[in-house]
Amino acid sequence: MHNRTAMGYTLILIGVVCTIVGIVIIKKANTAHLPDFDSIREVPSSPTNSSKSKDEIFEENKKKGDDFEAFVVKSFPKKYYQLQEWRGDKYVDGNYPVSSHFPDLEVNFKLNDHKDTFAIECKWRSRFYKDGIKWAEGYQIENYKKYSVATKLPVYVVIGVDGTPSKPKHMYVIPLSKLSNSFISKDELNPYEKDVKADFYWSYKEKKLLP
């Protein structure tokens, strides 16, 4: 009886020893795979081409648009013209005001007893593309035309190309009624080219803004 008990204790002891040995072996194996932190050097991360967010692109384009609009506004002598409306493109979480669909500027002309009001949509493009430019989307053209009909105001599209928004190399003044497509070629633009350095001129006799 005593021999059997002793044998049982011996087997239990052997089992405990094997368990401890196994744990030690496993720990050593895991430790062998751990990195030597003292030997690790900080590797500089390579630059990434992070794409601009929608908001950043919007603000960048808005800045260019605002600069060109300011250039256009400054080309109307205060003696004869008064800026009645200067709309800004604002939005938050995809919500745009209705007025953002209207032309950028409304200008009042006054010379003695002659008074007129007209609207201007300003567009600046950094360069010509395929011998012309895409100046607007189809739905924008429709919005401008609806505005013209609703307000009974003539609308003109002033386009600046090349140079900078504050100092374009080329400038064109085109009646909206002459535009039906999003793309306009250089040949179509040429008759409406305006001297960039000259002020705008409203002909009260012809009731139109001349290049």
Model pLDDT, residue 54: 75
What does residue 11 show for φ and ψ, rounded to 5 degrees?
-65, -40
Q: At 155, which helix (H) or strand (E)?
A: strand 155-164
Sequence-ordered list of residues with C-beta below 8 angstroms from that of 210, at least 6 positions apart, any chain: 173, 201, 202, 203
Closest CA to 135 of 202, 54, 192: 192
Q: Which residues of the chain have pLDDT under 50?
A: 1-13, 16-49
Q: At 18, which helix (H) or strand (E)?
A: helix 2-32
80-93 tens-digit pLDDT: 999 999 997 665 55
Q: At 56, which helix (H) or strand (E)?
A: helix 54-74
CA 64 to chain centre: 10
Model pLDDT, residue 49: 43
21-50 tens-digit pLDDT: 444 444 444 444 433 333 333 333 334 445
pTM over 0.85: no
Residue 24, SS3 per DSSP: helix
Write down the residue that tokens 């384009």 correspond to. 61
Neighbours of 86 (CB within 10 A): 14
> How many Å apart are CA 4 and CA 10, to the nearest integer?
10
Model pLDDT, residue 61: 86
> How many Å apart are CA 36 and CA 52, to the nearest integer?
39
> How many Å apart are CA 176 and CA 148, to the nearest integer?
9
Q: What burial letters (b/e) apply to 8-43, b meaning 16+ CB within 10 Å?
A: eeeeeeeeeeeeeeeeeeeeeeeeeeeeeeeeeeee
Cα–Cα separations (whole angstroms), residue 72 to 58, 151, 166: 21, 22, 9
